[in-house]
């Protein structure tokens, strides 16, 4: 079995696949070479995670985990690049709150920040980075499932 972090990432990918603006252009990796034909697109990856022991015990400590998961929205620019990114944000945010437990694997999911960047010089592309904090618990010797 995979680490529950992978299960959560896959759940997010499923939740945001098929949205009106980005459709099936959703990739679960931070190193996907996006081509103009793939845009607009979403990229899902995990950034970092903090872990605290919730209970004590030999090999059976419950760990509270706080995972920062990134959803990047990429689009090719037109005069309305801000509007396109805002539409993508609306669709993603609504999809993400449809199940804050990520299929029963997490305690909560919440949007904690949004960053927007533009590259007007080369390809007129826009990037929006949505950072989600996902809280979940595991047993330290069984990190494949949540508790």
DSSP letters, 25-41, are -EES-S-----GGG-SE
> Along the chain (147 residues), what's the average pLDDT of each consecutive run of 10 residues?
90 98 90 74 94 77 93 85 94 97 96 90 82 92 73
> What pLDDT score does 120 carry?
64
pTM > 0.85: yes or no:
yes
Tokens 């990190």 correspond to 143
Contact 73, 88 (CB under 8 A): yes
């Amino acid at each position: 079995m995979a680490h529950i972090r992978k299960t959560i990432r896959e759940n997010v990918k499923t939740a945001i696949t098929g949205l009106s603006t980005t459709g099936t252009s959703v990739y679960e990796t931070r190193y996907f070479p996006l081509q103009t034909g793939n845009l607009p697109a979403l990229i899902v990856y995990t950034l970092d995670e903090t872990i605290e022991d919730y209970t004590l015990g030999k090999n059976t400590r419950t760990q509270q985990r706080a995972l920062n998961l990134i959803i990047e929205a990429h689009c090719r620019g037109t005069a309305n690049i801000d509007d396109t990114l805002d539409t993508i944000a609306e669709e993603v945010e609504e999809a993400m709150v449809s199940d804050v437990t990520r299929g029963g694997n997490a305690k909560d999911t919440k949007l904690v920040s949004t960053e927007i960047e533009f590259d007007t010089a080369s390809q007129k592309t826009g990037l929006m980075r949505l950072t989600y904090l996902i809280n979940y618990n595991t047993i330290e010797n069984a990190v494949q499932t949540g508790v």
